[in-house]
Structure 1
Amino acid sequence: MSPAYQTGTPHPAEALVTGVDRDTRRALVKSRAKAANGIDSVEVLANAPGTPGYVAPAERRRTLLVRLLHAPGANGLRAANVRVLGGVRTDPRINPVRVDWAYLATAVAGSGPLPPGVLAEDRLLVMKATAGGSADRTLVVRTSSPGDWSTYVLALTADSGRGVPPGFDEPLSRAPFSFTVDCPSELDCATTTECPPVLSPSPVLDYLARDYDALRTRLLDRLGALVPGWTDRSPADPVVTLVELFAALGDRLAAWQDGVAAEAYLGTARRRTSVRRHARLLDYRMREGVSARAWLAFTAARTCPVPAGTAVTETRGEGREPGSVAEALENGALVFETCAPKVITRERNRIDLHSWGDARYCLPAGSTSAFLSHGPSASPGLHAGDALVLGPKGSGLAANPARRQVVLLDREPVPHEDPLYPGATVLEIHWAAEDALRVPLPVTAGARETSGLPVIVAEARANVILADHGGTLVGQALGDFVPGSRGRPRVPHTGLAWAEPAPAMPRSASAALRPDPHRSRARIEVHDGLRVWRPEADLLSGDRLAATFAVESEDDGTARLRFGDGTSSRRPAPGSTLRATYRVGGGSVGNVGPDTLVRLLPDSAAARRPADISEVTNPLAAAGGADPETLDEVRELAPYAFRSQLRAVTSSDYADVAMRHPGVQRAVARRRWTGSWYAQEVAADPLAARADDPSVPEEVTALLETHRMAGVDVEVARPVYVPLEIVLDVCTLPGHRRADVVAGLLRVFSAGRLPDGSRGFFHPDNFTFGTPLFLSDVVATAMAVPGVAWVDAGDDGPVDGLRFRRLGAPSLGEARRGRIDAAAREVLRADSDPSNPENGRLVCRVRGER
């Protein structure tokens, strides 16, 4: 055996053994008697304990039974005619496997003397293995070792060591086998060889050919290669027609594939529906915009009800006026509809403000109360929750809309009597601090009547109703419902309105004009003859009986309705006729100016009796309308939506949660030991408009309760106010009266609103936690007062009496440093209120002309 075979290299004949179907070859050779001989099978006697024919002293896995197709000839086979090829182990004790002896089974298992090398236990082993009667054509081979786990080949050769023994078939003179026959395996021992088919080379394909022109060119080139004789390129040729048809279909298919791939990702999606669904997976709700709101003031000819949904539109000034909501929307006009029903009366049309006989009476900016007067037979019947428009008398541009303001009464009016107006009733009205007057409102202008009473130039209008943008279309057909991909009916009109449901009792008039786009819902209902279907943001939480649907709008204004599948929300019955009632409008286009909505549409319920309502208008501009969120904004904001922290852990977290309240200017928190456990103490600095509102700390506490950690107590505390003591020396310019300069200084350094609506220097909203006071700001503010020549702040010396320090505390060099510092929980204040000197003061010692 050559060294090449000893190292495990396959014998050259092994390819013949493994490449030929031995079963087929063996059947053909065996069917022809005496045609040729060959190896039928090779059996390795494992001789393992517990197996049939086990002989304890005999060798294990070293005895091979080579069964032949026919009995060998007279010369027989010897050890020189047997070779065992194969093996991968380099251990010389295992590889190569040598043949110790080889005899016919009749000689080994017979009754005669034992052949050389054969032991008695070997005879017994072979006798049990050949008990079936195949001993005459079985060759027993004893190997030098049991080999390794690889596949070996047993080869029969001629006496010279080359070729095959005489009378043997060459392919069947070799057979593969394995020594590891006693190792269990679930694999099939039969091996199959297949000749794979030879594939013809495919044509070179251009995967960039995806549009119509490129596909048509490639198809014509391919046909030219397959049919060389075909050269017709006429469009009338049927083949060319089919080529162009396939190119067009391929173009549409490529566009569809590109669209599907693009819509699968938030960063590349182009359809609004796809972006909305991707954002929803990140717990981000896309804003679809919100309708603007406006306060409408009606003038009633007599007492009449104004139902909810009364439509008011603008006047174009040219052409025929619209006669219905549908016609107004078709002409592109803006339509507003009232949000709630209300009864209007003549007595509430216009109510004079009362000045108590003052000929120059003016409601200053920041006012939250006023007085109205009416005759004994003209009681307006005002109650808490009524909205009033305060403003100059008259209408149109001459009435100066900038001075108008809507207020919402937060308590019942209080009646009074004025002896100057016998028989008249004076009503004291009060509204929320959030509706405080933004600008001063003159009630009288100095003129007096012949009776000596002042002429009133301001009034209140009480027939005021909240309305939002959008016109309602009733009973619009959506067609019959068809399940599947077609079961998403399209809203006939574009521009479906999205609006936040109007509150039954707004917190204030100004808050009613600030709808929240995050809470807006599509204004549409669907009827199928059995039930009413209402919109929801999505169908993820709907049960199988919920009659809800989701509205999916696109950037072009179209909207489709997606119903449930019977598991998440109900599915309409197939074939059911759907009709929708919806509103068209919304967006920032609804933020129209004052006195724009002046026409009552005839088909509205309130306009069926036009004699009852003589006039309608919007005294103030509509506000709150917002356009739908753009796709770029969603792509930017949605990935960060799930990062919003919904719990408070650290002290800064508690402060951040408290500042989410609209009435809190700033908040700070600290972890405090209560004596038994730790608690988070949150100090909230409210806005000045809601400083005395008891609901602010209650709402902040409720907000913190939803975010606090379990086992942590939360306490809401007020800020630590630090009163200041500031004394300045001011010198006036020649020609300016000292009293006028003092009045100007007191005005700019006040803690309230100035006559022009701006804040005073020490207004509470100008200072919050940790905000220092700089001496340079004080001096600059004083120098801006007309008539001031110079200001001396001093150095807190005992002689001049100047002060720049905390009230009641010794000077710590604040004047030299140029500032008064405030700690993290302190708020500086100097109200200069003689009735409350403990709240700080600023004194200006003015020198100059009297």
Structure 2
Amino acid sequence: MADDNAVTQIDYTSRDYVGYRTSLLNYATQVLPTWTSRSPADFGVLMVEIFSYLGDIVSFYQDRIQDESFLATATLPSSVMAIAQQLGYVPYTAQPAQGSVAFSPTSSLTAPTVLPAGTQVITAFQQNLDAPVFYETQDDITVPAYTTPVPTVAVTVVEGRTQGSRPVTLYPPTPTSAAVTVNVEDLGVSSGAQSQDFTLAKTPALLDTVRVILDDGTGGTEWTVATDFLLALPTDQIFTVYTDNAGTSHVTFGDGINGAIPATGMKVTASYRIGGGTYGNMPAGSIVDLAAAVPGIQIAAPGGSSDMTGGADAESLDQIRANAPRAFRTQGRAVNLQDYADLALNVQGVADAMAVGVSNAAVSVYVIGPNYTPLSEFQRDQVAAYVQPLSLAGAVVSVFNGTLVPINIGGQTTPIQLGVLQRYRRQNVVLAVTQNVQNAFAPGIVGFGSRVSLSQIYEIIQSTPGVDWVQINIMARYDLPQSGTADILCRDWEIPVFGNIYIAASGGV
């Protein structure tokens, strides 16, 4: 008979298959002492192993749910975004590159011709994208008739493509307003249910360009985008837009309590642009043709386009984890210097910031964009306009771009000496070392005022598989003499970035 008073020791930290199986068999020894078989063919052992298997699965999902509840451990983009939203932080989205393109007439153009806004131009075929890069003109321009010398006319272009091919005429907001026609993409038909969700057909969508129009067949009414439905009234014609873990963008509507429900049978349509990212940053002269030929008009030659700049990828999850708590900490006021820098993170396009006290009444805020992209003057003005009203009385805020400081490791005449283990291919080890060192300077790893330690670089190289030994002879800022191996110190407004690395490898295959 089993001892009913026996004390069962349970290890609550052992929550995998082996732990469950061991705990169950130990417990069985106490309550069923006559059952001694531990053969895998035994029915009792079979049942123990089945329950252990189920317990392992349940424990896995419990751990995953718990991890997704905290910013530091969440891995799904939707979880990180939801926590950032709770903290009041809006991660920056992908930014499209922009520049200017010049058009000129051909000899067949005998009369001025208007190129409407939205005319698409393209680069040559890009092997890494398996497609050309598309840009769209932002204004209507008139290309004059052909004369000599050949005239040119320039216009601003932005990377990406506007989606939608079916025209919908919007109801004018006032009787005297002119009607406006918008090309839209059909998303579906409203069922009248609460919290309806519709999917955009193309990705990656630029979320800040999404327009939603409800079409009743005779005209359309444009609804307003909102960050959430928390304070919305039942009659507010608003929607939210988000991107799921698979990269697909969705449009959602309210539940009739917070946000209005689209009427049953209404066509739900959207106009939006796809694009954004660093791939849109192209050198001058990269745009070579119109996407759809226009008789008598061509890209001006030679070099009919300027540099395309400003393209940036969406904020990474690691950067959101670092920036969201900083933005939340300020609580909408700037008292110390760290507050000024953290407030700047709330402005779209700012990836990192540092504040420096110039005097008792002046603060300089240094900012940098995604992937160390400098911010435009307009963006810097936005930062100043946002931070200034939240600063201490009498304090004047000035905003500047941070300074990037390339760090060179090794030199042409005195490269890094690298020993490779016999079983490793020398070329692959050198490539791996270069990539690991480059990753050490990635955004989020280093920032304003970072110190680059020589011992850290040694550790990174030495921990690379295939490395036997290493000797670094030079590690220096690009703007100082290329000699010595002291730690690199950066000023508060400087960011160390990867410069050049020179490696001389020996050994290996």
The TM-score with structure 1 as length reference comes to 0.32
Higher Rg of the two aligned structures: 1
Higher relative contact order (CA 8 A, sep 6+): 2
The TM-score with structure 2 as length reference comes to 0.50
